[in-house]
Structure 1
Amino acid sequence: MSKCENRYIITGGPGSGKSSLLNALSAKGYQCFEEISRIIIQEQHQIGGDKVPWKNLAEFAGICFERMSKQLSDCTPTSNCFFDRGLPDIIAYVRRGGLTVPSEYFEKCKDYNKCIFLAPPWKEIFINDDERPESFEDALEISSFLRSTYQELGFTIVELPKGSINDRLLFIENYILTDKES
């Protein structure tokens, strides 16, 4: 198994069910890494900081890059690991914000499996909260940026079905099993 073969990204716009799916994968015993951007936003709220995407995108992205790089190194090389967002997400968000993407962001993107799972926008489950102030229209735009960024970087996008958390979990397990057998 190559060092990145077992590192799967689950991505998608805000409110598309990624975190719930990661929680289910974790409960089933998979090594899962929570969404770094959400943690940083929570930390910034607690200290009254401005390193959030809607105030200081460049610094926020830099912190995300450092912590997401650490997550990659924490992935056990012999088992499947799942990430709630990956480094290409930072590229998409930085581009959406009209900023220049640092070159090191692109290099690290090679450390994931080339197959990623995209949770599509899903209005019926979309909700806002303190860490997710975006509207559903924003979520649609972010999803579009994510899709085009992952495609440009050469990833194979596997769209998750709109279904129960368990249906999505089984979909991922079946896909990975089928992918490893081929």
Structure 2
Amino acid sequence: MNRFVILSGCSGGGKSTLLAELGRRGFATIEEPGRRIVAQEHAGSSEALPWVDLAAFARRAIMMALQDRRDAMAMTGTVFFDRGLIDAAAALEHATGEPALHAYAAERYNPVVFMTPPWPEIYAGDADRQHDLADAIAEYERLLSAFVSLGYKAELLPKIAVAKRADFILQRLGLA
């Protein structure tokens, strides 16, 4: 679905800040499933936290991403997703070896995925992001490979101010 645009890439690379900027500009946005799951798990059993059980976390992220897609169908215009189904499927495949990417390959997004590259100068861990930069970079490389293997064009976002990043995306999509 061409109007569904994925922001993916390196953890701590500025995706959530960029999503907020796109929302401020009037675009529909979908928050990252992982952050929502971590918040729910902190309030509950904590069994599906990614650092406790990555497979359980990824399975929940897949279900949430599928629901996000259904919810986005009711939205008008371009919808920006902070991560999504492919990110979750890549995590499940990494955790279990299950061929999850191809199981969800038919659930298409815009053919261009915008990737935040590793940006050590802004990377910061927190209670919800407990992995280090090296793990974040390894995840980024897996995601880049996953999107390309599914036929997406990965557009690397420049390391510039958030407003200019939003301008860059909107120009690339012909929405500027």
TM-score, structure 1 as length reference: 0.89
Which among 116, 119, 123 is matched to residue 119 of structure 1? Answer: 116
For structure 1, the residue ranges without an aligned partner over 5 or more in a row are none
Which among 53, 59, 73 is matched to residue 62 of structure 1? Answer: 59
For structure 2, the residue ranges without an aligned partner over 5 or more in a row are none
Distance 1:164 1:33 in 2: 21
Kindly provide the amino acid, as one letter, of the partner of residue 132 in structure 2.
S
SS at match of 1:150: helix
SS at match of 1:107: coil
Which among 80, 83, 88 is matched to residue 82 of structure 1? Answer: 80
Q: Shift of residue 20 of structure 1? A: 0.2
1:136 counterpart residue number: 133
CA contact (8 A) 1:91 1:149 kept: no
Kindly provide the amino acid, as one letter, of the partner of residue 168 in structure 1.
R
Fraction of identical pairs, as percent = 31
SS at match of 1:163: coil
Per-residue displacement from partner, 1:123-179 (whole Å, max 9, x unpaired)?
Answer: 00000011111101111101100000000010011110100000100001111117x
4+ long deviations beyond 4 Å: none
Cα RMSD (Å) = 1.7
CA contact (8 A) 1:31 1:81 kept: yes
Q: Shift of residue 21 of structure 1? A: 0.2
Kindly tell me the number of residue pairs found equivalent between the two proteins.
174
1:36 counterpart residue number: 33
TM-score, structure 2 as length reference: 0.92
CA contact (8 A) 2:12 2:119 kept: yes
Distance 1:35 1:140 in 2: 18
Kindly provide the amino acid, as one letter, of the partner of residue 170 in structure 2.
E
Kindly provide the amino acid, as one letter, of the partner of residue 95 in structure 1.
E
Distance 1:124 1:172 in 2: 22
Distance 1:139 1:152 in 2: 20
1:92 counterpart residue number: 90
Distance 1:172 1:11 in 2: 13
Kindly provide the amino acid, as one letter, of the partner of residue 121 in structure 2.
E
